[in-house]
Structure 1
Amino acid sequence: MDSRQLRYFAAIFEHRNLSNAAETLRIAASALSHHLSNLETELGVILFDRKPRGMEPTAAGHRLYEHAKVILKSMSAAEADLRQAGGKIAGAVSVGMAYSAVKAIGVDLARRVLSDYPNVDLALTESLSGATLMSLMASDVDIAMVYNPPVDPQLRTRPVLDEQLVLVGRPEIIGGSPDPIPFNEVLELPMILLRQGVSARAILDDMNLLKKIESRAKLQMNSVQAIAGSLEAGLGCVIGNKLFMADQIARGDVHVRPITDPELTRTLYICELTSRPPTYAMEAIRNLILDLTRAAVRSGKWEGTLIDV
């Protein structure tokens, strides 16, 4: 199996049609069909079910595509990276960020890339922390900023900052006092929580405390807009950082209170895949992200404690 076979296979998978894939690759459909047959013979599996209206990937086809996507992306990045060695920083870099990170440094990152690295093609994706991690694991992004990622040999992680979590909600829900609220009292309030699983880890990495919150949650959502709207509507309260609802807090639409007994914290990491060596462009963007994070924390825009950054 070589890179050409993988490119041909990936094109068929993405088009689900032999003729369309052949047109994209600019080769004869008969030749493409021959290469596919050779690949299936070599691997000893059927990669597609041939149907009158196209090609339907089998389970083996789906598995191979996940490998092919990573391999072809790595090869393309390696070629572009080495061609630029000693020259201008160039190439495509995709970054996934949790919502809070985008709010703190997303625009500044885009501005600095345009001014400092005009030959870098930046793709910035915003999602909840759990979804950001899954995008990294699927090689859809090169660099991810994720809260409390699990320990995984596939991940190269670096802690960036610790955040103290607070309670956010309308005063009639959490009280109008600025005084801290004990954690046990928080559990008696109508909680809105990210759905259980990887996303929930972004709230808290202490599984015992997290289970207590999950058991009391009235609503579970995986939508920033839905959670924000529910808070403003007085449907419940949420544990998070001040940055999450900074505009609403500033307008007085929602109130914020510190949490005590215990204080709750979470850690933001910058993550990459161990299987993908960094390119010059990835190194430049990673360093830029760290610089912008430092600046945002030191200016007070992002409340947190820097960790060896």
Structure 2
Amino acid sequence: MELRQLRYFVAIVDHGSLSRAALALHVAQPALTQQLRQLEDELGVQLLHRSAQGMLSNDAGKIFYEHAQAILKQVADARSAVVQSAERPGGSVTLGLPHSISGALALPLLTASRARYPEITLQLTEELTGNLNEQLRSGRVNLAVLFDDGQLGQFATTPLVEEELRFICRADAPYALGQPALTLQEAVATPLILPGLQHGVRPRIESVLRSAGLVLSSVIEINSIAILKSALLADLGATILPSAPVLDELQRGTLRAQAICDPAISRTVVLCASKNIPLTTAAHAVSTLVRQVCADLCADGAWPGAAVIDG
């Protein structure tokens, strides 16, 4: 198996056809077809099949595509690690962000990266936390912002912030109107709209509820942040979330956020890297930058409900 075969296979999947992949790779289509056939012969399985929509991956092809992407990224990272300097780091760095964090962190981080490290191509990917775990393990992302649930021992972790979860609803909704805070029991007594368990925030809420002897009675599950916000604005219920995903709506005054007490709910946000795959100089630089941007956002009050974790 050769690296070029992996590159060819990934290109065919990405472009959806042999002809378009051949043009992008500047390779004759018969040569591309031959390399694909040799790859499938070596693996002993068919990876792609033709359809009216073009070349599509079968189940084996989808699995192999994920591995091929990870291998090609690690090869590119190894090349970058050799040629880049600590003074002017360059190359590509992929950082994974959960949906509930990107609203606060993504744009400030991109702006800071462009200003401080113009030779680094920072690629941000927004995913469910479970997907980010897998991508970090396989090397498809260099770094990931995750939540410390006690299950991150496989990664090298750096604490970033402690983020408060708040009771959020439409600005004119009757729930606890005029109160600066409400108890957790009062919060769960309202109709709630929450992400599913595959989102990092939901297991944290469930854990605190169990410890407090409380249970959720009425919940609408919505896994899309955009749809969840629409449901809040339609006054279908309230939610328990950090402020980050709804910063724009809070600033415009269409939603309001209230503190939760007795007990409060918070989560620890950490930056994670693989223990097995070395970071490039550029990835180290981005890691330091993430910590600095988080600290600046908290100091400026631009990340409501978040406090920097010292050390």
**Which bin holds the TM-score, normalised by the shorter protein?**
0.7 to 0.9
Quote the sequence identity (%): 30
Q: Which residue of 1 aligns with 2:40?
A: 40
Q: Name whichever of 60-69 and 137-146 sits farther off.
A: 137-146
| Structure 1 residue 30 displacement after superposition | 3.2
Quickly say closer, same or farther: Cα 1:217–1:156, change in 2 above 3 A.
farther
Q: Which residue of 2 aligns with 1:3?
A: 3
User: Are the counterparts in 2 of residues 204 and 264 from structure 1 also a CA contact under 8 Å?
Assistant: no
The SS at the match of 1:239 is strand
Confirm whether residue 290 of structure 1 aligns to residue 309 of structure 2.
Answer: no
User: Are the counterparts in 2 of residues 149 and 269 from structure 1 also a CA contact under 8 Å?
Assistant: no
Q: Which residue of 2 aligns with 1:265?
A: 266
| Structure 1 residue 180 displacement after superposition | 3.4
Quickly say closer, same or farther: Cα 1:26–1:307, change in 2 above 3 A.
same
The SS at the match of 1:85 is coil
User: Are the counterparts in 1 of residues 104 and 245 from structure 2 also a CA contact under 8 Å?
Assistant: no
After TM superposition, the score normalised by the length of structure 1 is 0.82
| Structure 1 residue 95 displacement after superposition | 2.6
Deviations 1:26-61 (A, max 9, x none): 333333333333323322223334679854433322
User: Are the counterparts in 2 of residues 177 and 257 from structure 1 also a CA contact under 8 Å?
Assistant: no
CA distance in 2, matches of 1:32, 1:167: 55
CA distance in 2, matches of 1:295, 1:53: 48
CA distance in 1, matches of 2:248, 2:40: 56
Unaligned runs of 5+ in 1: none
Q: Which residue of 2 aligns with 1:97?
A: 97
User: Are the counterparts in 2 of residues 147 and 268 from structure 1 also a CA contact under 8 Å?
Assistant: yes
Q: Name whichever of 146-155 and 92-101 sits farther off.
A: 146-155
Confirm whether residue 189 of structure 1 aligns to residue 190 of structure 2.
Answer: yes
The SS at the match of 2:96 is strand
After TM superposition, the score normalised by the length of structure 2 is 0.82
Quickly say closer, same or farther: Cα 1:235–1:76, change in 2 above 3 A.
same
The SS at the match of 1:216 is coil
- Alignment equivalent of 2:307, drawn from 302, 305, 308: 305
Letter in 1 for 2:284: E
Q: Which residue of 2 aligns with 1:68?
A: 68
CA distance in 2, matches of 1:78, 1:300: 38
Letter in 2 for 1:42: E
Letter in 1 for 2:309: I
| Structure 1 residue 214 displacement after superposition | 8.0
Q: Which residue of 1 aligns with 2:29?
A: 29
Deviations 1:176-199 (A, max 9, x none): 2435322222221010101x2221
The SS at the match of 2:288 is helix
CA distance in 1, matches of 2:243, 2:128: 16
Letter in 2 for 1:305: A
User: Are the counterparts in 2 of residues 187 and 216 from structure 1 also a CA contact under 8 Å?
Assistant: yes
Letter in 1 for 2:201: A
Q: Which residue of 1 aligns with 2:238?
A: 237
Deviations 1:64-108 (A, max 9, x none): 211111001111122123111355211122333345544434333
The SS at the match of 2:174 is helix
| Structure 1 residue 168 displacement after superposition | 1.8
Letter in 1 for 2:189: E
RMSD: 3.3
User: Are the counterparts in 1 of residues 176 and 182 from structure 2 also a CA contact under 8 Å?
Assistant: no
Deviations 1:200-232 (A, max 9, x none): x32452644467988434322123233233323
Unaligned runs of 5+ in 2: none
CA distance in 2, matches of 1:265, 1:219: 21
CA distance in 2, matches of 1:248, 1:263: 23
CA distance in 2, matches of 1:99, 1:85: 33
Quickly say closer, same or farther: Cα 1:216–1:290, change in 2 above 3 A.
same
Letter in 2 for 1:198: Q
